[in-house]
Amino acid sequence: KETNTSTTEITPPISTSASTSPSTPLCIKEECNWSMWYDVSYPGSGYDDGDFETIQNIESHGYKVCDNRKAVECRAVRFPNTPYPLLEQHITCNREEGLICYNKDQLPPICYNYKLRFKCCKNITAPCEYTTAPHTTTEKAKTTPIISTTLSTTSTELSTTPHLQTKHKTTTESTRRPQTEYIQTRTTTQSIIHTTTEIKPTPPSAPTTTPS
């Protein structure tokens, strides 16, 4: 199924004629569409043969190829949904020449049957279309700086040295004189106890003779 796409490019307004209302200026637009698929050649079996979908060959078959070609698309007829680079065949596919495939450049030496189409563009004059872009206000988020306040708490350590108040208690001791009497008495008694009295007998005295 062929799909035609249209691309429009807007150029600055041109001067209007007298019959055109000044309120509707005209612009030059580029309009692009894909052409039909061209397949005017079938690959031969010779070594120097191939598939030649060239612009000259297409026009020799009665087709008019556009002059303002912006793009080209080449596909194998057998694989219409596969981009040709994936087929691993060495072909030429460009806007200037068209498509050229030689059997001698392939392995095995036979080209697929190809087709191609062009993206054709032309300039047209049409009323200008102004697209009003939505006004997007980008508001920068207000960033409120977070001030990290570190409360420096000075911990004052009160070194409390206890004040020792030394009260000297003066104790008056009355020195009692020892009772020496008892001690002396006891000592005397002990002396008496331990004193041994030795009594020696007195030899008898000779009788005294008194002369008569």
- Inter-residue contact 32 to 132 (CB < 8 Å): no
- Domain presence at residue 151: no
The structure's pTM equals 0.51
Domain boundaries, position 78: 38-127
Q: Is 196 inside any structural domain?
A: no
Asked if residue 85 belongs to a domain, the reply is yes
pLDDT in tens, 131-179: 666 666 555 555 555 554 444 444 444 444 444 454 545 444 444 554 4
pLDDT digits (tens, 9 = 90+) for 75-87: 999 999 999 999 9
Domain count, the chain: 1
Considering the domain boundaries, does residue 122 fall inside one? yes
Determine, yes or no, domain membership for 22: no
